Amino acid sequence: MAAGVTTHTTLLARLADRDDQTAWREFAERYGELIRGVARRHNLQAADCEDVLQEVLIGLSRLMPGFRYDPARGRFRTFLRTLVLRAIYRRFRQKGDQPPQSYDEAGADAVVEDPSLEQAWEQEWQQYHVRRAMQVIVAEFGPADRAAFDAYVVEGGDARQTADALGLSVDSVYQAKSRILRRLTQLVEEQVQEEG
C-alpha cells in the first residue's frame, strides 16, 4: 500500500522540498480521494473535483517550505480542511455558480466555521480512514472472510443466508465479522493517532 510507506509527520516534512516529487505523489495518493470526496459532497462534477485537488496541492506547495507541523498548535486535518473548503468555495465562484447556502456572504473565511460543512468534512474524513484501512484488510484477510464480511456487515445481509450463499458455517460468518471489525477498528485508530 503506497499510502503507508511514509509516516504522516515525515511526509509533511518532506513536502517542504517542492522538488520532492515522490513526496508530492505520495501525498496525492494518500489524500487525493479525501479531497475529491469532500468536493463531491458539495455536488461538484468530476473535473471540478480534480481542479479542487490541484488547487489544494498548489496551495500546499506554496505553504509547505515554511511549514513546521506542531500538533500542539493544531491538527493537520483542520489545516487541510480549511484549504479544501476554501478551494471548493473558490471553484464555485470561478464557475460563476452560487456556492451552497452554507457558504454565506462572508465568503471563504466563513466557510471553515460552518457546522454543516464541519459535519460533511468529518464524515468524509472517517470514510477516508475506513477506505485506507480496507486496503490493509484486503491484503491481510482471505477471500472467504472478506466475502462474508461484505455480505453480512457491509450489505447488511442475514448471517444464515450469507453462510449458505458462501458455503460457510454461520459461526464462520460471525468470526469473519469479528476479526475484520477488530482489525479495521485498530487500523483506523492507528491512522487517526498518526495524523493527529
Predicted confidence (pLDDT) per residue in 48-64, tens digit: 999 999 999 999 999 88
Instruction: Please give the mean pLDDT across all residues of the chain.
Output: 84
- Whole-angstrom distance between the N-terminal and C-terminal Cα of the chain? 21
Alpha carbon distance 165, 179 (integer Å): 20
pLDDT tens per residue, range 62-107: 988 877 777 778 778 888 888 898 898 888 877 766 555 555 444 5
CA distances from 190 to 4, 35, 59, 68, 171 (A): 11, 21, 28, 22, 29
**pLDDT-based confidence at residue 182 (cuts at 50, 70, 90):** very high
Query: Is 152 a residue whose pLDDT tops 90?
Result: yes
Query: Is the sign of the CA dihedral 152, 154, 157, 163 positive or negative?
Result: negative
Going along the chain from its start, the domains and CATH numbers come out as 2-114 (1.10.1740.10)
71 in Cβ contact with 196 (< 8 Å): yes
